[in-house]
Chain A
Amino acid sequence: MHLLRYAFDEAAASLWRGRRSSLLSTATIAIALFVLGAFLVVTSNLERLAEEWSGAAELSVYLEEDISGADRAAIERELRSDSAVSDVEFVAKDLALKRFKETFPDLASTMGALEENPLPASLDVRLRAATAGGSSVTGLVERMRVTPGVSDVRYDKEWLDRLQRGVGLLRLIGFALGGALIVAAALTIANVVRLALTARRDELDIMQLVGAPASYVRGPFIMEGAMHGGLGSFVALVVLALVFFGTRARFILPLATALNLSSVHFLSPGLAVGLVGGGLVVGCLAGLVASRRA
């Protein structure tokens, strides 16, 4: 307890004495963690978007014009018996035309000018969220394509795959960029701590000559690194929250609506704690490395 108090007091005093360079190192870690945090906000929301899209993913099985009622019922039974399928709805030609006109009112008159309804009847299949995009659905799609009475099968999988690949790539970029910035921030912290160490060389010599334990010699520098990291990550979190909630109503929510995302979330408590904790750990490690020369 005495050691912690001593390390804290000395580190706080050192931060204050070297406040200009401390500001620099705190700012670098804040920028690094802000970038990482921003990527985490974006990717976690895109992940939810992918999940919501997966939940809403549909398979459309278009039927031949001359399909018999028995064949249609057989296809519907087969679909319903598949574990990946949540629900099946028969959309007759008339209903398909009605929906088309509702969705695309500008084209309604063009469709009305045609002599007969060009839209095929279909079975709209709602998939279970957990199985959407999975291999069992791909198998079902393949089977349906060769089933007699089926003219075509449309599946949203391609879009889902692209979205998931995009989220993965974005996360990778975020981690790479954030990681590089964190390394740069750690080096800055280590250098600032090393400067503090050089400024206190006389004290350290005296401490070693009087037999001070290594924990008392190095402890304040590790604590100073942790303070830089903790302070920087806290600043990053606050700025990120300010930017997020400040632009939410004007920019983020309209974008989410356009993407059909029901709501947009800030970092989860776990991720926020992880971000600050990560900053503390990076600072600690930088202080530890810098204090090896003590």
Chain B
Amino acid sequence: MIEAYHLSKVYSRGVYALRDLTLTIEKGDFLFLTGASGAGKSTLLRLLLRAETPTEGQLKVGGRVLTDLSTSEVQNYRRTVGFVFQDFRLIPRFTVFQNVAFVMRVLGVDLATRQRKTFQVLKWVGLQHRMNAFPEELSGGEQQRVAIARALVNDPQIILADEPTGNLDPELALDIMNLFRDINARGTTVLVATHDREMIRHVGRKSITLEHGRLVEAT
């Protein structure tokens, strides 16, 4: 599903965010990316989202080399990827329902389908009863559930999550991780970047550890 070959990303002044990374992630895998801040976790996710391009090496997803994609192909590719941020990034002026439906709205999906799928996914994350609330009325855990619902509503093949529990207390963090496990159980490939090793142990899935951009451990 995801193949990285000798992948490097160098920022200005020669700082390596990723250095010679080679790895393969199978379809349907659940993988943690771990390491200290600045280890290169977020950079790898941004490369996978095609928000950035590698300085060296090659990154393939579903057999397609991401750097070879045209602008419209990047748009099509991103529609197959769901992204979850640490700070939720919900739109304050939209209700829960509108935040989730927004993705389909800007992709030109008709109203009936938008309503049906948004309701389904909100029900799945257990927030159908809060669909008319605004983000500021929700707890951190609820906001992250909305963000996950938004990432899921387009039926992505891959979910990328960057420190999704970083702003949550341990109990809520575990709830969110269970949600990711359920998503993975449906066949979706899940990559979660986190520095919380305790959480990784608790969830008990594969992980790779990055240090100064290099892959130092895979379990």
Contacts and interface: CB of A to CB of B under 8 A. Distances in A.
B106 A209 contact: no
B79 A6 contact: no
Nearest to B156: A210
B106 A202 contact: no
Contact of A210 (B108, B110, B154): B154
Contact of A213 (B49, B75, B83): B75
A139 to B, nearest CB: 67
Given A6-B105, A211-B107, A205 B89 contact: yes
B105 A211 contact: no
Among B51, B77, B108, chain A packs the most CB atoms within 10 A around the CB of B108
Contacts of B102: 203, 206
Among A202, A206, A211, chain B packs the most CB atoms within 10 A around the CB of A211
Contacts of A211: 74-79, 107
Nearest to A199: B93
B91 interface: yes
Interface in B100-159: 102-103, 105-108, 110, 154
Interface residues of B, number: 21
A213 B79 CA distance: 10
Contacts of B49: 209
A216 interface: yes
A202 B79 CA distance: 18
A176 interface: no
B106 A207 contact: yes
Q: Chain A contact residues (Cβ within 8 angstroms of B): what range? A: 10 to 19
A209 B154 CA distance: 12
A214 B108 CA distance: 12
Contacts of A213: 72, 75, 106-108
Contacts of A210: 78-79, 83, 103, 106-107, 154
Nearest to B160: A209
A6 B78 contact: no
B89 A212 contact: no
Contacts of A203: 91, 102
A6 B51 contact: no
Contact of A202 (B71, B75, B78, B89): B89
Contacts of B107: 210-213, 216
A250 interface: no
A211 B110 CA distance: 17
A243 interface: no
Contacts of A214: 71, 75
B51 A209 contact: yes
Among B49, B51, B72, B106, chain A packs the most CB atoms within 10 A around the CB of B106
Contacts of A206: 89, 91, 102-103
A210 B147 CA distance: 13
A207 B78 CA distance: 10
A212 B71 CA distance: 11
B110 to A, nearest CB: 8
A3 interface: yes
B146 to A, nearest CB: 12
Given A206-B103, A213-B108, 12 more contacts: A2-B108, A203-B91, A205-B89, A206-B89, A206-B102, A209-B51, A209-B78, A209-B83, A210-B107, A214-B71, A216-B107, A216-B108
Interface of B: 49, 51, 71-72, 74-79, 83, 89, 91, 102-103, 105-108, 110, 154
